[in-house]
Homo-oligomer: A and B are copies of this chain.
């Protein structure tokens, strides 16, 4: 395991986003700076190991990528799955809006 990568499937991405710690990690990384595990663990109450696990979950969902640089491994934000997730929510919203306007047309008609 711990490969998968580039999960196109929306549920997997949402599941990865469905944890406050991971959401916070992702939000910090979305500034474009790659960071080491130690750096990311620094200002949390969690263990380094806990943070590592969360990063792997994010990585499996394709939300983050890691590069080993010397003795540290840097994690960087990857925007694609976020866009995919947004797209999914858009279609759901669109379907809902359609339903609404059809209903309105029916009532007013």
Q: Which residue numbers of A lie inside 8 Å of B, CB to CB?
A: 9-12, 14-20, 22-23, 26-27, 30-33, 77, 79, 82-83, 85-86, 89-90, 92-93, 95-96, 99-100, 102-103
Contact = CB atoms under 8 A, between A and B. Distances in A.
Contact of A96 (B15, B18, B77): B77
Counted per complex, copies of this chain come to: 2
10 A-B pairs closest in CB distance: A32-B99, A15-B18, A14-B17, A14-B18, A18-B18, A11-B20, A30-B95, A86-B89, A30-B96, A30-B92
A19 B23 contact: no
Nearest to A33: B99
Nearest to A86: B89
Nearest to A12: B18
Nearest to A19: B11
Contact of A83 (B11, B26, B93): B93
Nearest to A21: B11
